[in-house]
Structure 1
């Protein structure tokens, strides 16, 4: 069957339209907005024109530069990912505020970058992902981060940050993941943190000097992961548990939590739970044996009593998981009297 002249004309028009769209996208990508280029060159200059940014030259489109990501339709810089360079020194440049369309900012494994997180970051109103990790950055977790209303992920782990977690983070309507682990943070948890989280929440705060209790408001948060290990938290953590909750990974180890484990219902999706080195009492819920996803379970160094549950997946866990408790007994521990 031969195509009609009308069909050929339509096909030609479609082809011309696609060609035009592709050309426009390519043109936008190559265009490199002058304001973005100026901001990037200012960042390079502020850091001493290091070799890391050798591709950042005025006579080439900034969308082709190393570490830079542009929106293919607008040509605006939406991503800046600088990572793995021990020779990059200085502080985070204020010139970063010039990248007004920036959505993703990653400064990772830059140990010689130091100083505080600058207020210029607060001007990046489109920022969705902010990662400043494995650096020498110090000072507080700034309260002005609460102005980044588009933020969904905040990772400031493995730095030298001090002070408290700012309550302003609770104002962010889209924030669902916070990682502030491996810093020197003190103080308590903001009660309304993640109260506006639109989806499952991820909270990683391990290896700090945080204290106080877990806010009662956390019981209403749909956590998928909570890591509060190696801090100085106290009191009742049972509000994090619940059979129907989405929690998959829970690490409360090396704190001073104290609550009755025998009365909690464990989340059905739990795959890893570490409650070791606390002051938790009661017994191990029989439900543990029926958690089919559970791969890691450690309740050592607590004040637990009674028989270790049997059957199900309990053969996965050896005596190490239960050692140094008040009076646990039964396989893989000595028999109960």
Structure 2
């Protein structure tokens, strides 16, 4: 017969096991879920008691069970993006389509977390068609692997950070249909982006937009 001490220890282990079994990436994603409204229940499989989040819908892992893709595009999710996303250090694709961070066509609001600049392996980030506001984080300059950055159709303000000109791998950039201001960088990859990438920002000016906007309203 088990001793009272052994029974007490067993009960304690059972009580804390959910916290032990969840890995840091699962904890980060569950923290994100807690701040969001999810009317379609697309996140119902995000169970924090599992060993890792690789069995959750909309999450893709590599062969080492590390989260490399988060795809929540067009899911009618609303709420603020949180800094916990910056803890997914192996993330390659953030969609929000090629695999990215896909968070597009939702109702995400508030500022873009500067912690997304920690995602050094990120190849693609799609945040278009949301309600995001504030400035484009300068920390995005740390995303040296980034090839696709789509921020169009939001409520972003401020200037385009000149630090983004250091992103030599950036092939696609779209910040159209926001309220950006100032001038468009002309260095690095910005020398190749078409004017449509910056269209419908009435206070934005630069060489690619000369003749298309009557005034430079400044920033």
Same fold flag (TM > 0.5) = yes
Partner deviation per Cα, 1:19-43 (whole Å, 9 max, x = no partner): xxxxxxxxxxxxx982222221121
Partner of 2:28: 39
Q: Indicate yes or no: 2:126 matched with 1:150.
A: no
Superposed structure 1 runs of 4+ greater than 4 Å apart:
none
The 3 A distance-change label for structure 1 pair 187 and 193 is: farther
Residues 115, 139 of structure 2: 8 Å contact kept = no
Q: Answer 1 or 2: higher relative contact order, Cα 8 Å, separation at least 6.
A: 2
Larger radius of gyration: 1
**Distance (Å, rounded) in 1 between the aligned partners of 2:38 and 2:74:** 17
Structure 2 unmatched runs, 5+: 1-20, 96-102
* Deviation of the 1:98 alpha carbon: 1.7
Q: Find the partner of 1:108 among 104, 108, 116.
A: 104
Compare the two structures and name the one with the higher strand fraction: 1
What is the CA deviation profile of residues 257-288 of structure 1, one whole-angstrom value per residue up to 9, with x for unaligned ones?
Answer: 9xxxxxxxxxxxxxxxxxxxxxxxxxxxxxxx
Label 1:210 to 1:57 Cα distance change in 2 as closer, same or farther (>3 A).
Answer: same
The equivalent residue for 1:83 is 73
> 1:52 pairs with 39, 42, 53, which one?
42
Match of 2:201 among 205, 208, 211: 208
- For residues 1-337 of structure 1, the aligned pairs below 5 Å read 34-47=23-36, 51-60=41-50, 61-71=52-62, 73-86=63-76, 88-106=77-95, 107-111=103-107, 113-194=108-189, 201-203=192-194, 204-214=197-207, 233-234=209-210, 254-255=212-213
CA contact (8 A) 2:181 2:205 kept: no
SS in structure 1 opposite 2:31?
Answer: helix
Tell me, in whole angstroms, the C-alpha distance in 1 between the residues paired with 2:34 and 2:204: 42
Give, in whole Å, the separation in 2 of the partners of 1:162 and 1:192.
21
1:146 & 1:208 partners in 2: Cα distance? Answer: 22
- Total equivalences in the alignment: 184
Measured at CA, do residues 144 and 59 of structure 1 come closer, stay the same or move farther in structure 2, by a change above 3 Å? closer
Whole-angstrom distance in 2 between the partners of 1:144 and 1:52: 30
